[in-house]
Structure 1
């Protein structure tokens, strides 16, 4: 499999990196970390103009019709720059609506997402429950010509200003997807205090939230699992960007930090530690790229590739962060150094859409099933 970017993909990477460097530099990221806004309006407008929200959406609704590979390129740059905003949550919800939404819902939602007129996010995880279908306890019951939702969701990214919430709930015991207006009666949104200072996460309560029947997507458990895989791959790409940037910061630090009359990067033990970090970054890049490519190709092993990438990157992000902190010494613990922001994001990425244990367990189940079928 060829992991080299095409000319168009390379242009997308360069344009994304340039926009974030110019409009969302690290000092601006720090300012956001001290505020309450989910989104910088100017940056969101520029990303919409660049086509990020519609990158993976059908052309008939104004999107670019690209795949998970292109979305992963943008996600990596967002992670590298500690980018804030709902680009990836919106992309995930948009792909779900495009694949399983009714024609009326697709017409209403997708054009607005592409234009940047609003954003969406996925309310999936629940308190003290695994990030899997087994952890879904929210309920949806049929009533008249619609549904009534009840339940609590946690770690919902950028829900404070979202226009739509994609909610996963159980209808007659079976997981299903529903598109909810954030301002609907019975929806309560509360911001959470989390380790990651570069993104905003929320708890959402649904109490007798009434929905018209057309707001139920046709997605069943298999489609929801597939969406979880795609979201996990994009999370891997974000973590890859964070890992790569931590490696850059560490190599830079070990180059100019002098001890015993010479740069610490000249010592063998430090070289080995940096080499270990580089191996983890390269492995994460290969695993993420393969998972994105197999998903776009509809390959038979796409699900296994997503689980393998998610488990590897979730564990690798923590290892790279630990090495970076160790090699920065006391400086790495200070608030003034940018490293702590990357450490926080890496830690959040290691659990979003399931930690390493969740994906390893699922991967083992898939491999056992394949072995039994053979």
Structure 2
């Protein structure tokens, strides 16, 4: 596979990095992390002007018609800058609607998402349940006159506080299905959660007899594919954070002097930095391969997700160790990246979830009672 980016993709990466560095530096992220708002409106407006919200949406709805690779490039820069905002969840919901939404629903929702006038998020995970289709307990019951009634509780729903729409995954007669819900609909209750990562906002969403739900024409396999794509974008976000932690660590170890020498001159420190670099390079290769893969997309997504979910916390731990006491202070940026990496290691499934599924894909006969 050719991992070289096109000229347009390199321009997208450069423009995204420049925008975040100029208008959303870490100092600004810190200030917004202490508030109650999910989104910095100025930054969201600027990213909408750059075309981020509609990057992966069809051109007929005002999007750019780009693919998973372009979305991953932006996600990587967001992770590198500890960026806030609903780019990732909106991109995921937009892809779901573009692939399986009824024509009328696509015409109503996608232009607003593409313009950045509103955003959406995916309500998938549930309390004390694995981040997989097997963990879905919310229910959707058809009504006689048409429509559906949704009941259940969702957790770790990113940026749900200001979202216009929620994509809810629920069981209809025991089969997972997707429903688009207006967040302001009666029966929808949103409560902000206290989480490890202060650079993003996550919510509990409670659905009690919600009737204003529109079903997407998505089979369980389509939902699983969307979960794989979300996992790849999560890997890209974590990759950006890992790259920045490596840079901060190299900078610190080459300038911090101990016993008359930079600490980076000691062999043990060199080896630790080399271990970090190997994990970063491996995460980049796995993430890019998963974003570019076609025929092997499922296994590639699982391999990337399991590798990055395990590698990101390890890089964070090494960075913290090599920074010494300063790495533990609130004033240093490192702890924000550490928190981001820890959160990314469990979003859309931790390493164990993806490794189990990868085993099922590689050796179906071992998990299928009817297999030979």
| Whole-angstrom CA distance in 1 between matches of 2:36 and 2:24 | 16
Cα distance per residue 1:280-337 (max 9 Å; x no partner): 000000000000001xxx31x1100000000000000011001000000011000010
Counterpart residue number, 2:147: 146
Counterpart residue number, 1:356: 351
| Whole-angstrom CA distance in 2 between matches of 1:345 and 1:318 | 9
Name the SS for the 2:75 alignment partner. Answer: helix
Within 5 Å, which residues of 2 pair with 1:189-204?
189-204=190-205
| Whole-angstrom CA distance in 2 between matches of 1:61 and 1:34 | 36
Counterpart residue number, 1:367: 362
Cα distance per residue 1:202-253 (max 9 Å; x no partner): 00000000025xx100101000000000000000000000000000000000
| Whole-angstrom CA distance in 2 between matches of 1:321 and 1:169 | 35
Q: Mark the runs of 5 or more structure 2 residues left unpaired by the alignment.
A: none
Is 2:178 the partner of 1:177?
Answer: yes
| Whole-angstrom CA distance in 2 between matches of 1:89 and 1:239 | 15
TM-score when normalising by structure 1: 0.97
| Whole-angstrom CA distance in 1 between matches of 2:58 and 2:15 | 21
Counterpart residue number, 2:77: 77
Counterpart residue number, 1:283: 282
Q: Over aligned residue pairs, what C-alpha RMSD do you find?
A: 1.1
TM-score when normalising by structure 2: 0.98
Counterpart residue number, 1:131: 131
Counterpart residue number, 1:304: 299
Within 5 Å, which residues of 2 pair with 1:44-55?
44-55=44-55
Q: Mark the runs of 5 or more structure 1 residues left unpaired by the alignment.
A: none
Cα distance per residue 1:14-71 (max 9 Å; x no partner): 0000000011001001101111110011111111110001101101111111000000
Counterpart residue number, 1:68: 68
| Whole-angstrom CA distance in 2 between matches of 1:26 and 1:216 | 40
Runs of 4+ displaced beyond 4 Å:
370-374
Give the drift of 1:369. Answer: 2.0
Is 2:43 the partner of 1:43?
Answer: yes
| Whole-angstrom CA distance in 2 between matches of 1:267 and 1:194 | 37
